[in-house]
Amino acid sequence: MQQSQKLDGLQIARAVAALSIAYFHSWHVTMLFPTGTSYPIPILRDYGWIAVDFFFAISGFVICLVTTSPHFAPLPFLIRRIFRLYPLWIATSFVFLELTRFLGRNERQTDAFFNWSLTLLPTEGFPFYDLGWSLQHEMAFYVLAAVTVPLFGLRGLIAALIAGLVAHHSMMLPWYFEQFFSYYGNFLAGIMAYLTYQRASRFGVVIPVLICAALFFVLPFGRATYPIPLYFALIAFLNIPAKSQIGVALGDASYSIYLIHPLVFAFIYIRLQPPLPPEWMQEPLRFGAMAATCLIGLLSWRLYEKPMMRLGDSIIGFVAGWWAARRQPA
């Protein structure tokens, strides 16, 4: 499998994950209408949430690509991750903070809690802008990879994740360890996909999809079973035979779509005041909100995310140049 095709498959997987999560939350757009009058897609309505777990599996694969590079260095890696996650997280958090003037706040959503949530450090329960819980897991995983891989290689990262899973299932832990360790299996699914995707490529797309569908019944048995279908789903996307320009573009914008879609839905909810539109308008309204999210996400990727990532690269270049100059003999 060529590198470009592999990355195309990952980007399409990101796009599907982001859109699935957005659709799962799209009930916010129709919640003011009478119950039972909308017609959502059943599988996305009931199981779209597992796309967040799929994002974790994708991260496991991507971290393998990055950390096994001969040019991998922990500090530049972490700086890039910081400039990948934090700028958009902070911007969307402030937009959500403004929206709470109209939506109201719960008792936890204080200004002090907002400031703490911006750091993506652990919170017992959701952060101020609740989608940030998954970013907390992402950052913790990045730090774990940056510490373990340079010292012990990819095997060390796998061992650390397995140790966390064993601890989660065998002992009482403080809430922050319990919170993080419970998702380690999803990252492992991505790592296993990285280690086996070349051999698994002979199965193409159809067989992994059928296996994933057959394993879908394990979801009610708990999070410990999720990595199995997630592994096969990721293998299927990695083996997508043809490039989809729209899929790749939406994959590039998937982080923006993920963080922006609740803001779009909340804005529509605030603007929907009685008298409501006819009930038949619910599905056009839902898909219109999804389309607006995709458009804003694409603009956010091009006009905000990419410049922030370039800024991170510039800082890495400056630090590397400064360090090299200091090491030169006088």
Residue 282's nearest CA partner among 3, 4, 14, 34 is: 34
| Residues contacting residue 230 through CB under 8 Å, at least 6 positions apart | 50, 53, 54, 57, 186, 189, 190
Please state, for a pLDDT cut of 90, what percent of the chain lies above it: 75
pTM of the model: 0.93
Q: Could you read off the pLDDT of 145-161 as tens digits, one per residue?
A: 999 999 999 999 999 99
Q: Could you read off the pLDDT of 257-312 as tens digits, one per residue?
A: 999 999 999 999 999 988 899 999 999 999 999 999 999 999 999 999 999 999 99
pLDDT for residue 71: 86
Quick check: 208 and 57 in contact, CB under 8 A? no
Q: Tokens for 147?
A: 């510490």
Q: Could you read off the pLDDT of 23-57 as tens digits, one per residue?
A: 999 999 999 999 999 999 999 999 999 999 999 99
